[in-house]
Amino acid sequence: MIRRKRKVNNEESIASIEVFGGVFALLLVLYVIMNIFSSSRLEERLDELSNNGEYKISWGEHGDGYVVLAYPDSIFIIENGSFIPHNNICKKGSSFYRYATSVYEGDQKQIIFAILDNGVETMRIARDCLQSIYPKKKVSIGWMIIDDQTMKSIKINDIPYYLEE
């Protein structure tokens, strides 16, 4: 009789472990499915947020600024990922020329130069180029100095979407 009770108790404990394991496995599968759907929806939302002007800093009613990195020997346009050597900045078909004309089409827009070490000369070339593109229009630019520590803390591919807001 005691053996029979132990056998029944063992069978009941094995059954409860099987039920618990089955429920755990189902919850794990449900978690993976929910994670897949939520991550794909998050990617859709981020894609909706990214558009032209993704790397734009807004000052409310006062205008927008588009960030361009000024290196000693080139300019890097973050939005399209193009490096333009300083001797090709103002050529009529260059990426900077096209980018500048698209930025300054609207009112209260400007290019903000993030100047790295020894990039002031390249920024000056780009500024002079903007003045030659728009000789009769007031063209506004902004600039800021970026050091090595700032560049280490900002990964170019990971510039956040909230810069647009």
Statement: residue 48 has pLDDT above 70: no
Q: What are the residues facing 56 on neighbouring strands?
A: 66
pLDDT tens digit string along 125-153?
999 998 988 888 888 888 888 776 666 55
Q: What is the pLDDT of residue 105?
A: 81
Nearest-angstrom CA–CA distance, 142 and 112: 4
Q: What is the pLDDT of residue 2?
A: 58
Domain boundaries, the chain: 23-157
Mean pLDDT to the nearest integer, 23-43: 85
Mean pLDDT to the nearest integer, 18-41: 86
Statement: residue 50 has pLDDT above 80: no
Q: What is the pLDDT of residue 125?
A: 92
Q: What share of residues in the chain are helix, strand, coil (percent, to 5)?
A: 55, 20, 25
8 Å CB contact between 99 and 106? no
Q: What is the pLDDT of residue 121?
A: 92
Q: Measure CA of the first residue to CA of the last residue in the chain; give whole Å.
A: 76
Measured in degrees and rounded to the nearest 5, phi and psi for residue 94 equal: -70, 160
CA 131 vs. chain centroid, Å, equals 30
C-alpha to C-alpha distances, 103 to 14, 15, 45, 79, 108, nearest whole angstrom = 70, 69, 25, 12, 10
Look up the pTM and report it: 0.57
